[in-house]
């Protein structure tokens, strides 16, 4: 493949046309790169993780109402989350990253880790961008082009066949119905990967690719059923979430090959490796969302000890004198 074209730094990035050709969805690919590839992967299950379900649904969790009324909100949340939560929040993370790069201060009273949703955007706004900017750059292109412009040929065909706008309107309705279904499928396959009363949360950040980093990817992620091609396809290969977080750049087939090796390695060293049916994980995620259960906090004492150990290992690597091939040959000769 052409690596200058097909790489994560250029795929779908660079304007509406590239987005349309490569990956047309509610969120901006540039914003997703920051929110998912950076913030989520390297702050997994910390407060700074923008995809931390327990933190993002804190208002629903704390509502002093019976659980049955909280469940009434679930059909809306699960079928609209891409545009209602993910699109505005990924764009917030992109703007926040630009602010930090420029050294621009965060306004007083603004908590950067708080999620920006359509609800908060409409009711109180956000200092990071305006509603009009969000619609023009992020949400508007997908809404207008995907739902109303793509089916336009059916309007002409319908007029030619004497059916008027019937075919066009039918296509628009089907696109909106498909949007609800794909949101629900995405919710089940994506959101449930890191939520449940058997998943851990962490207080402080850790060094990327350190011992703590790799341990956290296992303790705060869950695999679904794995193995068969059909099953993997239906899950979008998100059923290998632990392996995906250990090695984000690996191919999907490499996840499949590495999964039994990782599981056996965790078993050997006593590291909890959670693997369950996706629908069981959906129930556990709903319990987190509604406040029926809570995630586990990793013991603070061990968290700090592991972070300190990581720092010692990092310092040792920097101070370690490189061993030359000629030195190894001399040692072998002796």
In this predicted model, what pLDDT tens digit does every residue of 249-308 receive, in sequence order? 888 999 999 999 999 999 999 999 999 999 999 999 999 999 999 999 999 999 999 999
Q: What is the pTM of this model?
A: 0.87
pLDDT band per the 50, 70, 90 thresholds, residue 333: low
For the chain, what percent of residues have pLDDT higher than 90? 81
Q: How much is the average pLDDT of 163-183?
A: 95
End-to-end CA distance of the chain: 48
Distance CA 90, CA 31 (A): 5
Q: Is the pLDDT of residue 104 over 80?
A: yes
Beta bridge partners of 200: 296
Kind plus residue range of the DSSP H or E element containing 297: strand 296-297
Answer yes or no: are the C-beta atoms of 218 and 271 closer than 8 Å: yes
Q: Is the pLDDT of residue 332 over 60?
A: no
Averaged pLDDT of the chain: 92
DSSP assignments along 192-204, one per residue:
GGG-STTSEE-SS
Q: What pLDDT was estimated at residue 2?
A: 75
Cβ neighbours, 10 Å, residue 149: 10
Q: Is the pLDDT of residue 193 over 80?
A: yes
C-alpha 334 chain-centroid distance: 54
> For residue 113, what are the CA distances in angstroms to 51, 64, 102, 169?
10, 24, 19, 41
In this predicted model, what pLDDT tens digit does every residue of 109-138 receive, in sequence order? 888 889 999 999 999 899 999 999 999 999
Nearest 10 degrees: CA dihedral of 118, 123, 129, 135? 50
Q: Is the pLDDT of residue 29 over 60?
A: yes
């Amino acid at each position: 493949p052409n690596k200058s074209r097909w790489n994560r730094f250029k795929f779908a990035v660079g304007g509406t046309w590239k987005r349309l050709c490569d990956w047309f969805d509610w969120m901006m690919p540039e914003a997703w790169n920051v929110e998912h590839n950076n913030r989520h992967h390297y702050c997994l299950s910390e407060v700074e993780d923008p995809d931390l379900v327990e933190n993002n649904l804190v208002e629903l969790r704390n509502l002093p109402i019976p659980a049955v009324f909280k469940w009434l909100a679930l059909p809306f949340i699960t079928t609209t989350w891409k545009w209602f939560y993910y699109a505005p929040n990924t764009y917030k993370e992109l703007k926040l990253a630009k602010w930090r790069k420029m050294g621009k201060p965060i306004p007083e009273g603004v908590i950067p880790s708080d999620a920006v949703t359509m609800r908060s955007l409409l009711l109180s706004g956000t200092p990071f961008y305006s509603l009009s900017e969000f619609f023009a750059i992020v949400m508007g292109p997908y809404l207008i082009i995907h739902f109303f412009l793509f089916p336009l040929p059916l309007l002409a065909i319908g007029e030619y066949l004497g059916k008027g706008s019937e075919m066009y309107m039918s296509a628009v309705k089907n696109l909106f119905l498909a949007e609800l279904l794909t949101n629900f499928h995405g919710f089940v396959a994506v959101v449930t990967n890191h939520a449940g009363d058997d998943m851990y949360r962490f207080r402080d950040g850790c060094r990327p690719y350190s011992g703590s980093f790799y341990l956290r990817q296992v303790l705060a992620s869950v695999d679904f059923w794995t193995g068969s091609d059909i099953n993997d396809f239906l899950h979008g290969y998100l059923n290998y979430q632990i392996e995906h977080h250990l090695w984000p750049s690996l191919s999907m087939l490499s996840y499949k090959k590495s999964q039994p090796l990782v599981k056996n390695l965790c078993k050997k060293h006593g590291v909890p490796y959670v693997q369950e049916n996706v629908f069981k994980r959906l129930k556990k995620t709903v319990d987190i969302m509604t406040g029926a259960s809570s995630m586990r906090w990793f013991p603070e004492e061990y968290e700090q000890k592991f972070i300190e150990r990581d720092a010692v290992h990092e310092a040792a690597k920097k101070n370690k004198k490189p061993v030359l091939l000629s030195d190894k040959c001399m040692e072998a000769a002796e």
